[in-house]
Amino acid sequence: MDHRTRFARRFVRPTGALELMQDLGSAGPGHHMLGGGNPARIAAVEAVYRRRLAEIAADPAQFGRFAAAYSAPGGESGFRAAVARSLAARYGWPLSERNVALTSGSQSAFFTLFNLFAGECGDGRLRRVLLPLAPEYIGYADVGLTEGMLVARRAAIEELPGGFFKYRVRLEGLDAVPDVTAICVSRPTNPSGNVLTLDELKSLDAHARARDVPLIVDVAYGAPFPGIQFTEEGLLWNENVVLCLSLSKLGLPATRTGIVVAAEPVIEAVTAFNATAALAPGSTGAVIIEPLLVSGELETLCRDVIRPYYEARSRQAVAWLQEACVGLPLRIHRPEGAFFLWLWFPGLPIASAELYRRLKARGVFVLSGHHFFPGLDEPWPHRDECLRINFSQAPESVAAGIRAIADEVRRAFDARAAPAP
């Protein structure tokens, strides 16, 4: 008999997020890390952070905020105010510090928000978070306290010239999905790098308002920072929208700083959870970034350094893939942001999970596509034909990893085509 609590059974088990992070921790010399979400170490960006650390170390007041005192349970107040002022100035939104809370990374934010808006309710009914554009972020899959809290709609696939394709959100029929109490999308979408247009966001917001539920928009990779978004930069916020930002993809993943921008009641709920679960979020990332945000240096760094860096790396990785996969049925989701490429091999003879295992045996870490369809219960062969690769690490390692992917996929197709003995 299993005597574990329901919480233990739910959270102490193998998950896609656990596999991802274990791979990150175990990869060593000689491995090619094309999995995980580690950002690139960009010398010009790290030089700014090292300068800030020297300034903090030389100033007792800054160092006190950085390491020697708890913040408020909503997070470091000076940084929250700076975030509100920056967004208000850039987009014209009516924000104040009371519309901003910090969390211990974005994953913590989604744990709080998903369980705040959905789950098992007092009447015994299960309320759910709708993911209208599957595939979606692997980290959403297992944060719910209740099994079955996510429901997803598979994307429409638009074939594009040159071996590319693009996912499109299917707005028709969304209102037929029952028991929805929140809608969530990532933009750029993790894993595919898809960027929903502003019109698509507005349509999803209108749908959410019609159902009287919030729209959660995860912009961890996009505008306003780090701005790894190669298409339109417009962004939507109102009192029905919950924006989730992060400092991780700015090159500060170890600070574990998530940012929630929302109506005051949502911020009050996040703040209360912070106090109960962790007393307060960390202040290190907030203190490093605040003066850069206030001065405009962060915006310049994103526009002139971070975005061009990843855009160039994306083009290079695409070229390597197209060269290595000649003769294979490769489709690449059109890169529109983030630092991933989403690969689709129609008719792949082995499941993407098996391809992941074969590549891992060769020291090449990727992520199997099947992890990125949380809440999608209908069968769809597409989910087992895809891989997500991260192109942010050392170029020579990425190139070697891509060659290994092409080799294993070619072997799989050749084995299927070989005549039976």
The DSSP result for 358-375, as a single string, is HHHHTTEE-EEGGGG-TT
Tell which residue, 332, 154, 140, 282, has the closest CA to residue 220. 140
At residue 407, does pLDDT exceed 90?
A: yes
How many residues in total does the chain contain? Answer: 421
Confidence of residue 21 (pLDDT cuts 50, 70, 90): low
At residue 55, does pLDDT exceed 90?
A: yes
Residue-level pLDDT at 12: 74
Across all residues in the chain, what is the average pLDDT?
A: 93
Q: Which of 265, 295, 325 is the last residue of a domain?
A: 295
76 and 193 inside one domain: yes
Integer-rounded Cα radius of gyration of the chain: 21
Residue-level pLDDT at 67: 95
Query: Would residue 421 count as lying in a domain?
Result: no
CB 336 within 8 A of CB 194: yes
Residue 323, amino acid:
E
- pLDDT, tens digit, for every residue of 241-284? 999 999 999 999 999 999 999 999 999 999 999 999 999 999 99
Helix extents (H) in 187-283: 198-211, 264-278
Q: Which two tokens stand for residue 103?
A: 């969390």
If you average pLDDT over residues 46-75, what whole number do you get? 97
Q: In which domain, by residue range, is 235 found?
A: 70-295
Query: Would residue 417 count as lying in a domain?
Result: no
Confidence of residue 232 (pLDDT cuts 50, 70, 90): confident
Query: Would residue 146 count as lying in a domain?
Result: yes
Query: Cα–Cα distance between 257 and 99 in angstroms, integer?
Result: 16
Confidence of residue 332 (pLDDT cuts 50, 70, 90): very high
**DSSP one-letter string for 137-200:** -GGGTT--SSTT-EEEEEPEEEEEGGGEEEEE---TTGGGS-SEEEEEEESS-TTT-----HHH
Q: Which of 263, 295, 327 is the last residue of a domain?
A: 295
At residue 376, does pLDDT exceed 90?
A: yes
Q: Which of 234, 265, 295 is the last residue of a domain?
A: 295
Around Cβ 285, how many Cβ atoms within 10 Å? 28
If you average pLDDT over residues 159-181, what whole number do you get? 95
Confidence of residue 420 (pLDDT cuts 50, 70, 90): low
Confidence of residue 72 (pLDDT cuts 50, 70, 90): very high
Tell which residue, 280, 294, 220, 229, has the closest CA to residue 252. 220
Instruction: Work out whether strand 215-218 and strand 241-246 pair parallel, antiparallel, or are unpaired.
Output: parallel
Residue-level pLDDT at 24: 58
254 and 324 inside one domain: no
pTM over cut 0.95: no
At residue 162, does pLDDT exceed 90?
A: yes
Beta strands in 304-373 (DSSP E): 331-333, 340-344, 364-365, 367-368
- pLDDT, tens digit, for every residue of 181-192? 999 999 999 999
304 and 291 inside one domain: no
